[in-house]
Structure 1
Amino acid sequence: MSETNLIDRYQAHRTRRFMQNEEVFKRWLPTWRTRRRRRVLVRALSLVFIVMIAVAVACLFNTMVALVWPVITIVFMALFTSLQVVSGRQGDAPRQALDEWEIQQRNNARSIALTVTQSLVFFVAIFLIFTSSVGWNVEKLPYTGGLLAITAMLIGACTPAMILAWTQPDPEPGDTD
């Protein structure tokens, strides 16, 4: 078996699974599928990311603040799952499940997400290099750096879904039946 066949089979499997999941999830949260409500979810998710960054930086001064992290993580998971459901998971959909316009939109969003991820991880690295070189709270720095890195990666991973949810028009009335 050639490698291409393995990849093709995997992509076909992903597409089938995506379509099956789409059948299940297309009836979930019907009133949240409007552009206005999707934007509420994007704003809420952005706020969660700001809180994650604040908690991570606060851990540099008091590691007890980290007790807030599991709560933020649960809120994040609920918001991101909801956003994925109401936006049809277009940000991570397999190519075969999308039309040409959707593929173009998804690829543009992914390109922006890569830039966002690279930029945020760069700032985290600069922060870690600077704070460790000046010897500032070095004993708490690894935990803070880890939380900041996780947050940067989550922001980058969520960016395509957030962009697509923000920019997609409202669904046609027949699409929600």
Structure 2
Amino acid sequence: MKYYNLSADQEYGPALIKLADYCDSDEVKDYKKACDYYKKAADQGYAEAQCDLGFHYKYGDGVDIDLSIAIHYYQLAAEQNDCRALCNLAVCYEEGAGVTQSSKEAFKYFKKAADLGFARGQFRVARCYSLGLGVKESFEKAIEYFELALGQDYKTEEILEKIQECKNAQRTGEKSINKLNKSSKVILRLQGVSTN
């Protein structure tokens, strides 16, 4: 820790991030200090720090909740292809948190993370395809992306269930697909997520 502190005193970005992560850990939970370190590294252009700082502004850990600042930092990191930031920004579009709700924009950011090989992005793209969120419904593509995420041991049990649901919907035909899609969209609307 001594060397990280010395490096952080010199404003060395990777050391600032390590100290921020340490302060952000469950054992320390000094979120304000973590945000101070993340901010210094974020201002130097480190995408990881920008993403983490955006997260803190979205949820109010160590700083006041400010969705516009959260979006700003997510966008900076997303421009550098930080996959976590791409997915976090997509969730903001999905929820309408700090931005105008748009399933199409959410899909765009999830897809970019998926194309970069990020399992969480692949899972969310598969979900979008299976429910027709921001993209034309396609159980075939949903299965393809679920399997990509599954190949990385991401949410294995849940993905296996989703793949089976998609295969069942494909087998039973159009009416079942529409019924599954409508019930899923009703659940999403109840959760406050628009399906447009």
State the TM-score, normalizing by the size of structure 2: 0.21
Structure with the bigger RCO (C-alpha within 8 Å, sep 6+) is 1
